[in-house]
Homo-oligomer: A and B are copies of this chain.
Amino acid sequence: MQQREANAATVERMFEAEPVLVDVARAGDVVPGMGERTILTSGPRTDASAYRGGQRRAVAFGAIHEGLAADEDDAWRQIEAGEILVEPCQDHGCIGSVAGIYTASMPVFVVKNRVHGNLAFCNLYEGASPRRLNYGVYDEEVAAGLRYLEDVLGPVLGAAVREAGEIPLKPIVRRALNMGDELHSRNTAASLLFGQAIFPALLELRERHQEAVESALGFLRENDYFFLRLSMAAAKATADASHGVEGSSVVSGMCVSGLEFAIRVSGLEDWIRGPLPISRAKLFDGFTEDDIEWLGGESCMTEAIGLGGFAQATAPSLQAYQGGTVDAMRETNLSMYEITVAENPTFKIPYLAYRGTPTGIDVFAVAETGILPTIDAGLAGKDGGQIGAGTLLAPLECFEAAAAAYLERYGARTTAAVDV
């Protein structure tokens, strides 16, 4: 296939995808290849011994929480002995928030792409505290929060989703874009809309599970970020469907570990690695750039399908959180059209006169213009916990390497990177 057609076919798959929430279940029961002694973490496939700092600690915390290890040293002894398997989230259909730690007992959203049939999974938001396992923290409070997800929230949400049949996620995303969300750093409206969609089913369950239902309603009411994990799972289900189009130079995935950034290109096989992203962060009071710790993160999959930083102009309220201005956000959003091959027919930006979000990053467009994909993100600190938020820029090196790999594989480009 010609590159132009291959790229169009790639985004067409993204546009056709219909991610629906079909269940909330125990990871060990539903995630492909996830054994009882498997731990997943963010980023491309990495030899476990290479993990450093906060991500290395977070992996060990996962093992401790799952009851596989007594302490960090024990966890790493077992990992290095091959008794505990550390695997990349995305190779198992999962998508990691920050460190992205998954263990077998954790509940996961099960999202099915109704059109292409593929499944994606994401574990649940731990709540509003800056101290969370996904931000590399583990103590009694974090453990109690995780047990709450396992014992109460996950099971009751699962029962409600099965009661509801399924919950289509794309209409929620579409509507939330009209209500100030960009579905990465802001999910307030989507969380409300999801609450509205699941309330009738929760109501049905109330007689049998009164306490759990009331607790779930409270959790939904208090957590404006709740939907992020569904946005991520929907993005994973959508991006995965776009992968594997012969001749395509469009990005079908992005992720970061504590060590490196990586992109996947639809027409190429392996993840292509580069340095860590460039941070344009606003740190919470009392923190400096030196406090930033890279734990990984795969929520940038939302950007890969035209949300997050690619829909920034929908979310002016992020200017305060991220430290930007409305005009800068608008300019940033507009610049993303220069590195993408299509405008989303479903996801629209009211502030840009309902222009579709820029979708489908062409590695050649990035490599040639030097315009880097903008990612809305939270930032972790060296002592764990969230210490700020802002935008990250995907590193140019990944796109240059991807362009080189494309030329090596296909011989030559057959079209201009982006129609002008």
Contact = CB atoms under 8 A, between A and B. Distances in A.
Interface of A: 175, 178-180, 188-189, 192-193, 195-196, 199-200, 203, 206-207, 213-214, 217, 221, 316-317, 319-320, 325-326, 350-354
Contact of A193 (B192, B213, B325): B192
A193 B189 CA distance: 9
Contacts of A325: 353
Which 7 pairs across A and B sit closest by C-beta, in order of nearness? A316-B350, A192-B192, A179-B179, A317-B350, A179-B180, A178-B317, A316-B351
Given A179-B179, A189-B192, 7 more contacts: A180-B180, A180-B350, A192-B193, A192-B196, A203-B217, A317-B350, A319-B353
A84 B46 CA distance: 82
Contact of A351 (B179, B189, B351): B351
Contacts of A195: 196
A187 to B, nearest CB: 11
B320 A354 contact: yes
Nearest to A202: B203
16 contacts: A175-B188, A178-B180, A178-B188, A180-B180, A189-B192, A192-B196, A200-B217, A203-B214, A203-B217, A207-B207, A316-B350, A316-B351, A319-B353, A325-B353, A326-B350, A326-B353
A213 B188 CA distance: 25
Contacts of A316: 350-351
Contacts of A214: 200, 203
Query: What's the dominant secondary structure at chain A's contact region?
Result: helix
Q: How many copies does the complex hold?
A: 2
Given A206-B206, A350-B319, A350-B326, A188 B179 contact: yes
Contacts of A192: 189, 192-193, 196
Nearest to A327: B353
A299 to B, nearest CB: 21
Nearest to A210: B203
A196 B221 contact: yes
A284 to B, nearest CB: 18
A192 B178 CA distance: 13
A203 B188 CA distance: 22
Nearest to A349: B316
A189 B176 CA distance: 9
Nearest to A200: B217
Query: Counting chain B CB atoms within 10 Å of each CB, which of A193, A207, A316 scores highest?
Result: A316
A175 B354 CA distance: 23
Contact of A179 (B189, B207, B326): B189
Nearest to A325: B353
A310 B98 CA distance: 40
A333 to B, nearest CB: 13
A334 to B, nearest CB: 13
A396 B213 CA distance: 55
A319 B355 CA distance: 13
A316 B350 CA distance: 5
A206 B205 CA distance: 12
A341 to B, nearest CB: 25
A53 to B, nearest CB: 36
A320 to B, nearest CB: 7
B206 A203 contact: yes
Contacts of A180: 178-180, 189, 350
A39 to B, nearest CB: 36
Contact of A189 (B189, B199, B217): B189
A179 B314 CA distance: 10
A202 to B, nearest CB: 9
Contacts of A354: 319-320
Contacts of A319: 350, 353-354
Contacts of A199: 199, 217
